[in-house]
């Protein structure tokens, strides 16, 4: 079996979603006789034959993955998604509509899904009830038990001798939607202050992404009453500082996004001989024998010479980690699951004659390119950027509304409209063919809508424009399957007769 993981860009290859979850098991999958690679989504191209039997999308939360999945399924490939960040359980939050819409859209093409925790499994299963799911625990980096024991002992001795505790906070420091990262560090900072009150100096290192170093982020950690040094995160720096630090400080709050997280930060810290202090939500309960929840308990053990991670407990740690992230075991379980998925015949789908994507207010240009790379139609809406070389766009002038079609779109048009085409030039300066809507679809409300469009607010225009364009296209190109590319959340389509909570399809 050939397996490919599809990531949104090269930048994501170094992030935890790919680095931890796949690079640590890649060699084992290959050793078991499977071909395994990690691709960027931009590599999926109609002109390049699909080499793998099975594709797993990781962190591709935009319409590109929907288009790519449509293409893969049309080529008979197995498609799955790996979901480990919970952007889907907050059903009251308008800001995350686009994520929910993405998951609903992907659900139609997914044969299976992977996730990192039982909780994430439950969340995704609500959206994809038909698809089997598998929990892939984040595999740990291989480590040497004796080195862990020795280093843990040395760190504890040094801390007692110098009355100083080297603490590391590491991770993504921000999230536009959730109270996480540096805000958590600041919110639970009292635990670090308690160490000072107990007579220790605290040397806090903060390792985080550059994007998080905003005024607000710095303001948050500025309220920590402990000396600290802020550094930009890198894998090497994380390794170096974890090896140096006695304590990894990993506070976890109780919101749904945070409690769905995997154990990977704790596992990474423990395998680097760091003790863990994790106040707040007991996310690391499975590792509770190795995790402190209060600074007092930590200091008590430090002064008592009985740290939770020490020579006497490393054997127990090894046993525990074998259950929660042994790369060998995880790769075996994953192979078993994927084999079963591949062997299960996918539900037969009616062949799709044409596929198009309508661009909304904020659609990535990569999505436009991806559509054309896959041989699908890129359709402009009144809100999308005007300069792109779309396959279909609607133009309003004194003669009414005209639909402009590229060569690729012309091929897809129903034959009865072909003789009504007239030549024209698109706003991007390309030769196109045009259809007068007044002529081919007399009385269609799109005509009246666009005549009035400049008087409307974008929010109120959105719904009507998308639906009317979808309606026109489905008449001109029978059987066309349309997707929406939209990164701006408030512009939502499930209006009209559809009950709230159900998605209206544009077709």
Partner 1 sequence: MYDQANRTRSQTFTKRLARFRRKMFHRQDPSIDAALLIRESGLFDADWYLETYADVAAAGLDPLDHFVAYGGFEGRKASPRFDSRWYMNTYPDVRASRLHPLVHYLKHGQGRAPIKRVGLKGVKTSEEDFGLAAELLTSPLFDAGWYAREHGLVNQSPTAAALHYLLVGAPAGDAAGPKFDTAAYLRAYGDVKDAGMNALLHFHRYGAGEGRRAFTIQDALQDRLSFSDRRDRVVRPSAASVSTPWRQSRSLRGGQGMAIARFGGVAVGLLRDVYDDQTEPLPESLARSLRQFCMVCGLESQEVVRARSGRAPRRVPTASPARNSDDPRVVDGWFVGDSLLRLRFERSAQPVVVRLLQATKGGRLHLVGEAALVEGEQHLVDALLWNPLEPILIVYADLGGRLSGGGLAAFPSLFRNGLHHAEVAATEIDDDITRRRERLHDTLLRQWLANRERDDFAIGRLEIDTLSACGAEHIFSAPVQEWLGRLGVGLRPTERQSLSDGEDADYLTSISQSAPEVSRSAEGVLVLAADSLPTLQALFAARADYRRGGTGALLLSDAAGAPRWSVSFPLSAAGLSDLQPVAAPLIMPTLRLSSAPNTAAARLGPLAVRTASISRLTDARSIYPVAPDSNEPVLYRTLSDRRKAKARVVALVDCQRGGAALVEALARQTMAAALRIVIVCGVGQMLDAATQEALKRLFPDSHQVVGVQGRTFGARMRAAVQAVSVGRNDTLLFCCTDINPHDPRTLETLYILTTEKNVATAGCAHVREGSFRDGRRVENQSAGIFPQRIALDACPSLTFAEMQTAEALPPATYPVAGNTMKFALTTMKVWDKLGGFDPKLGDDSELDFCLRALKAGYTHLCTSSVAVTNTQRATFASTAKRHSTQAFNLEELARLVDQTTLFRALV
For the CA atoms of the chain, what is the radius of gyration? 27
Residues 283-302 that bind partner 1 (CB under 8 A): 296, 299-300
**What are the structure tokens assigned to 12, written together?**
């994501």
**Strand, helix or coil for residue 404:** strand
State which of positions 143-182 bind partner 1 (CB under 8 A).
143-146, 176, 178-179
Rounded distance, CA 432 to CA 409, Å? 10
By the rule CB under 8 A, 107 interacts with partner 1: no
Site string for partner 1, 456-475 (x = CB under 8 A): xxxxxx-xx-----------
CB-CB contact of 53 with 342 (8 Å): yes
**Residue 273 to residue 154: CA distance in whole angstroms:** 10
Q: Which listed range, 44-52, 60-68, 313-321, 473-481, lies at the site for partner 1 (CB under 8 A)? A: 313-321
Q: Is 398 in the site for partner 1 (CB under 8 A)?
A: no
User: Can residue 27 be called a binding residue for partner 1 (CB under 8 A)?
Assistant: no
- Provide the CB-side half-sphere exposure for 230 (13 A, CA): 18
- Cβ 331 vs Cβ 32: under 8 Å: yes
Q: Which is nearer to partner 1, 306 or 349 (CB)?
A: 306
Within 8 A by CB and 6+ apart from 160, the residues are 302, 303, 305
Candidate list 21, 24, 77, 119; residue touching partner 1; CB under 8 A: 119
Instruction: Please give the structure tokens belonging to residue 110.
Output: 């997914």
| In the complex, least distance from residue 431 CB atom to partner 1, rounded to whole angstroms | 32
Among 10, 33, 47, 92, binds partner 1 (CB under 8 A): 92
Smallest separation, CB 332 to partner 1 (Å) = 16
On whether the CB atoms of residues 237 and 295 are closer than 8 A, the answer is: no
* CA dist., res. 408 & res. 385, Å (int): 20
The contact mask relative to partner 1 for 436-455 (x = CB under 8 A, - = no) is ---------x--xx-xx--x
Q: How many residues bind partner 1 (CB under 8 A)?
A: 87
Among 56, 97, 110, 124, binds partner 1 (CB under 8 A): 97
Query: Helix (H, G, I), strand (E, B), or coil: what is residue 271?
Result: helix
Residue 365 binding partner 1, by CB under 8 A: no
CB of 44 to partner 1, least distance (A): 29
- Residue 220, interface with partner 1 (CB under 8 A)? yes
The CB-of-449 to partner 1 minimum distance in angstroms stands at 7
CA 96 remoteness from chain centre: 12
Report yes or no: 384 and 368 within 8 Å, Cβ to Cβ: no
Question: CB of residue 469 vs partner 1: minimum separation in angstroms?
Answer: 15
492 forms part of the interface with partner 1 (CB under 8 A): yes
């Amino acid at each position: 079996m050939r397996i490919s993981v599809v990531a949104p860009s090269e930048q994501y290859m170094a992030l935890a979603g790919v680095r931890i979850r796949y690079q640590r098991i890649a060699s084992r999958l290959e050793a078991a006789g499977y071909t395994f690679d990690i691709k960027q989504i931009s590599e999926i191209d109609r002109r390049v034959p699909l080499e793998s039997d099975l594709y797993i999308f990781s962190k591709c939360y935009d319409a590109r993955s929907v288009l790519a999945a449509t293409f893969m399924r049309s080529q008979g490939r197995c498609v799955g998604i790996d979901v480990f960040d919970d952007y889907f359980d907050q059903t009251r939050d308008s800001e995350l509509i686009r994520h929910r819409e993405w998951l609903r859209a992907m659900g139609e093409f997914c044969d299976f899904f992977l996730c990192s925790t039982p909780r994430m499994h439950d969340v995704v299963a609500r959206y994809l009830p038909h698809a089997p799911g598998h929990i892939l625990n984040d595999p740990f980096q291989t480590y040497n038990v004796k080195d862990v024991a020795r280093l843990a002992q040395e760190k504890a001795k040094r801390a007692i001798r110098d009355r100083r505790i080297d603490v590391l906070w590491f991770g993504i420091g921000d999230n536009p939607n959730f109270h996480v990262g540096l805000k958590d560090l600041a919110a639970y900072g009292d635990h670090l202050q308690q160490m000072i009150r107990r007579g220790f100096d605290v040397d806090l290192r903060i390792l985080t992404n550059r994007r998080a170093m905003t005024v607000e982020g710095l303001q948050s950690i500025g309220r920590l009453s402990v000396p600290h040094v802020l550094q930009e995160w890198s894998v090497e720096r994380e390794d170096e500082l974890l090896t140096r630090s006695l304590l990894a400080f990993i506070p976890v709050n109780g919101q749904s996004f945070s409690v769905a997280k995997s154990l990977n930060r704790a596992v990474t810290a423990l395998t680097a001989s760091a003790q863990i202090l994790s106040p707040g939500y007991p996310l690391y309960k499975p590792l509770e024998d190795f995790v402190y929840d209060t600074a007092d308990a930590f200091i008590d053990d430090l002064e008592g010479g009985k740290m939770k991670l020490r020579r006497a407990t490393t054997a127990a740690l090894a046993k525990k980690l074998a259950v929660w992230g042994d790369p060998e075991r995880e790769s075996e379980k994953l192979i078993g699951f994927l084999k079963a998925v591949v062997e299960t015949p996918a539900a037969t789908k009616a062949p799709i004659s044409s596929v198009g994507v309508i661009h909304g207010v904020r659609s990535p240009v990569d999505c436009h390119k991806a559509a054309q790379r896959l041989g699908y139609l890129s359709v402009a809406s009144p809100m999308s950027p005007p300069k792109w070389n779309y396959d279909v766009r609607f133009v309003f002038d004194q003669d009414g509304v005209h639909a402009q079609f590229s060569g690729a779109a012309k091929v897809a048009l129903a034959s009865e409209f072909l003789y009504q085409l007239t030549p024209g030039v698109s706003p991007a300066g390309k030769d196109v063919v045009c259809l007068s809507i007044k002529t081919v679809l007399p009385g269609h409300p799109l005509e009246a809508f666009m005549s009035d469009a400049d008087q409307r607010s974008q929010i109120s225009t959105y719904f009507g424009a998308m639906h009317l364009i979808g309606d026109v296209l489905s008449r001109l190109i029978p059987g066309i399957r349309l997707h929406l590319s939209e990164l701006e959340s408030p512009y939502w389509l499930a209006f009209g007769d559809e009950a709230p909570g159900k998605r209206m399809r544009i077709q």
